[in-house]
Amino acid sequence: MNNAVAGFSKLSKEAKIDWIANTYFSNPTEAVKTIKQYWNSDVQLQQLHDEFIENTITNFYLPMGIAPNFLINGKYYSVPMVIEESSVVAAAAKSAKFWSTRGGFKATVLNTEKIGQVHFIFKGDRDKLQSFFNAIKATLLASTESITKNMQKRGGGILSLELRDKTAELENYYQLHATFETKDSMGANFINSCLEQLAKSLKEAAQNYVAFTEAEKDITIVMSILSNYVPNCIVRAEVSCRVEELAEKKIENPTLFAEKLVQAVRIAEIEPYRAVTHNKGIMNGVDAVVLATGNDFRAVEAGVHAYASRSGQYSSLSHAKIENGIFTFWMEIPLALGTVGGLTSLHPLVKLALEILGKPSAQELMQVVAVTGLAQNFAALRSLTTTGIQEGHMKMHLNNILNQYQATAEERKAIARYFEDHTVSHASVVELIENLRK
């Protein structure tokens, strides 16, 4: 079957849907019904969503939940989270409550520097290129003033600009390496606009540099783009308490629990197979808040995992220790986030989420996001080192299974009673449903 289509982007929304329905579904009417049932009845709101991306046909819903009782630097937060995975919000809330009675979370933004690069090819004398750069550096920076003016008023702008010689890795390859402060915006558009202007000014200046040969004047700009690796845009989150204060209903021996948790973290520090899953649990919390606040979770994921590999081996983002009877659990991660620009002023639920968080600055949001990731990690490690991860996870997953099999209210009551003292598994739930229906 040839499913190619010409001019799809030029079709109306209705025509796009009709083409999808008739091309891919045996029952086009039912497909159209499913697509349209997720449209918003408010026409203006639906148009707003339609214009977030291209070729929109409908909205894809994810649940938005709240994890309350996060005590961060002495202030309570209710944290909005957008995620589809069972037990994540519950685990975050449980960790938040646990630590709220043990001093809460401490969070510190260590740095907020972001990076962008102009990648270019120069076939000539590297010493002449360095002299050229030194001579025009001020001119390059001045050429961006119309772009940086408003950012500078807010205390941001271009922090530094340097020429980097990368010819040892790739023939004739150099970079303009720039660092930025973007204050409360994530800053992607600002950084990329600055870089494109720097590239244009670099190329123009080369044409007029008398020390260059004709060949050397022909600098080739390959690309100008920000980096999502932000190892100098770091936030630290931590919790600590006396070991005996870790005691609770499922932690009868707090010393053993603390020792096992420290060992679990050390395993993730040295074993990449474990570290990937360990860090994925952290990102369950991080991504959920990043999504709820209209930030770019793909950029965050890419930057965080690069940071986890900075030693040359992928490793745990979090760390734990016991010293002088004090248990400490902490994490430092790179987070380039914004609370102005992008979806933050457009998406109604993003605006709502930021209101719930008290209209945070970018730095405050960095702290909340990092703390949520640490809380999620603690919850996972607590389960893994005590009851096992599946007990709580499968109980939360039970609703998904019941919905899948369209369980009635009476069936749900009977199933809930049964699993009060039985282990939940997909097979056992299905078997029980089938027995109830016989």
Which one is catalytic: 16, 119, 183, 393? 393
Known catalytic membership, residue 395: no
Q: Which of 50, 85, 271, 411 is catalytic?
A: 85
Angle at which helices 409-418 and 426-437 pack, to 10 degrees?
Answer: 130
The CA radius of gyration of the chain, in Å to the nearest whole number, is 27
CA atoms of 52 and 147, how far apart (whole Å): 24
Active-site annotation holds for 280:
yes
Q: Active-site residue 271, yes or no?
A: no
Q: Find out whether 57 and 13 touch, Cβ atoms under 8 Å.
A: yes
Q: Which of 184, 196, 287, 296 is an active site residue?
A: 296
For the record, the structure tokens of 160 come out as 């530094």
Q: How far is it, in rounded angstroms, from Cα 180 to Cα 111?
A: 11
Q: Which of 128, 137, 280, 347 is catalytic?
A: 280
- CA torsion sign for 121, 125, 130, 133 is negative
How many angstroms separate the CA atoms of 96 and 23, rounded? 49
User: How crowded is residue 232: how many other Cβ atoms within 10 Å of its Cβ?
Assistant: 14
Pairing of strands 75-82, 106-109: unpaired
Is there a catalytic annotation at residue 214? no
Kindly list the catalytic residues.
Answer: 85, 280, 296, 393
